[in-house]
């Protein structure tokens, strides 16, 4: 369940390809003894007042950032959120409009949307006044640079395998 924009919605559970995409992303930070980690399916309080409740597909945060947290964490200190479309016509538009606004209002610096419907990666940055001021949209297969505070370049060619 998610609560954002004053609405309660049901979020589909991850299918195999969605889980593989998150595993692919986690490997980008594997092997680092310190630094950030991509936490899968982490609950965040979103929106300017913290009233939203979103179990993000992935949350990039410093290692051990969530020690002692309950089910829902304040987004302070989060570097990036990740969502992967679920091939669900009812919830996927939600990932493209309402979630970016909720994450931006909460001050999350980077939102990465991996869209399996149109085989694109969208990077939302520069949150200000409840909206991201910049969006970069690239097709699967392109090289995508995630800006500070993430500072990593992704070769998205492997995402083509998980588009279905």
Q: pLDDT tens per residue, the chain (164 residues)?
A: 555 566 655 555 666 687 888 899 988 887 666 789 999 989 998 877 777 888 899 999 998 999 999 999 999 999 999 999 877 666 566 667 778 888 999 999 999 999 998 899 999 999 999 899 999 999 999 999 999 999 999 999 999 998 87
Which domains, ranges and CATH numbers included, belong to the chain? 2-162 (3.90.1570.10)
- Cα–Cα distance between 35 and 138 in angstroms, integer? 27
Model-level pTM? 0.87
The gap between the terminal CA atoms of the chain, to the nearest Å, is 24
C-alpha distances in Å from residue 30, one per residue of 21, 23, 24, 37, 63: 14, 10, 10, 8, 11
Angle at 88 between CA 13 and CA 58, to 5 degrees: 45
């Amino acid at each position: 369940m998610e609560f954002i924009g004053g609405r309660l919605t049901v979020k589909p559970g991850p299918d195999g390809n969605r889980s593989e995409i998150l595993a692919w992303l986690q490997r980008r930070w594997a092997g680092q003894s310190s630094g950030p980690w991509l936490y899968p399916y982490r609950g965040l309080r979103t929106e300017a007042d913290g009233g939203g409740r979103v179990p993000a597909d992935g949350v990039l945060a410093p290692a051990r950032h969530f020690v002692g947290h309950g089910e829902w964490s304040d987004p302070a200190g989060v570097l990036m959120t990740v969502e992967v479309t679920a091939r669900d016509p009812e919830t996927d538009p939600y990932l493209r409009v309402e979630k970016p606004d909720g994450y931006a209002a909460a001050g999350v610096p980077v939102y990465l949307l991996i869209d399996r419907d149109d085989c694109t990666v969208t990077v939302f940055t520069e949150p200000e006044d409840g909206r991201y001021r910049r969006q970069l949209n690239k097709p699967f297969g392109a090289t995508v640079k995630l800006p500070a505070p993430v500072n990593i370049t992704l070769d998205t060619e492997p995402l083509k395998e998980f588009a279905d």
